[in-house]
């Protein structure tokens, strides 16, 4: 059964450089501005991944201007964790961190297992295929939860 779109969603993964920026960008494209969408990582030690930019560009999602940030940096950007209706963790480490940080709030944390494509593929095309698989997993989860894009 499809759920009603929440007012705000935070996607998180390990570095906010591959999976969570893809999820943020795709959700914004699919569901417009009906929902406030942001993303973070457990760490902020990497820039946005070029393969993530490329596979999202294939579907008209622009990620080039994304700036990675961590949970710890969120407050510096004016986002309070408790202001989100839903946190979607795309990696085990980000799920653990989200649960630690939200134990004092009544806040839903969901885990969407999403493949980490960063070490996969020998050639450029094989790497792009791995990133497409992760992108498509995110698309499948979004549509499964909130239906076809508007």
- As beta bridge partners, residue 9 has 37, 86
Mean pLDDT for the chain overall = 92
* Domain at 14-146, CATH class: alpha beta
**C-alpha–C-alpha distance, residues 45 and 56, integer Å:** 21
pLDDT digits (tens, 9 = 90+) for 61-92: 999 999 899 998 987 777 788 889 999 999 99
How many residues does this entry show for the chain? Answer: 150
What is the 8-class DSSP label of residue 76?
A: G
Q: Specify which of 34-38, 100-104, 134-138 reaches the highest per-range mean pLDDT.
A: 134-138
**C-alpha–C-alpha distance, residues 31 and 33, integer Å:** 6
What are φ and ψ of residue 42, in 5° steps?
Answer: -65, -40
Helices (H), 1-150: 19-31, 50-57, 71-74, 92-102, 124-146
Region 53-67 average pLDDT? 95
pLDDT class for 1, splitting at 50, 70, 90? low
- Would you list the domain boundaries of the chain? 14-146
- As beta bridge partners, residue 41 has 13, 70
pTM exceeds 0.85, yes or no:
yes
**Which pLDDT value is given to residue 47?**
86
């Amino acid at each position: 059964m499809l759920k009603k779109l929440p007012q705000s969603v935070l996607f998180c993964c390990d570095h906010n450089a591959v999976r969570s920026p893809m999820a943020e960008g795709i959700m914004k494209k699919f569901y417009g501005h009906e929902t406030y969408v942001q993303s973070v990582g457990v760490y902020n030690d990497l820039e946005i991944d070029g393969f993530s930019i490329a596979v999202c560009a294939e579907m008209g999602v622009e990620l080039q201007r994304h700036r990675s940030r961590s949970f710890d940096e969120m407050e510096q950007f004016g986002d309070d964790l408790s202001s989100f209706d839903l946190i979607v963790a795309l990696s085990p480490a980000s799920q653990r961190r989200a649960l630690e940080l939200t134990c004092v709030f009544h806040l839903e944390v969901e885990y969407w297992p999403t493949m980490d494509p960063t070490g996969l593929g020998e050639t450029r095309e094989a790497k792009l295929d791995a990133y497409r698989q992760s992108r498509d997993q995110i698309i499948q989860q979004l549509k499964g939860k909130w239906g076809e894009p508007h």
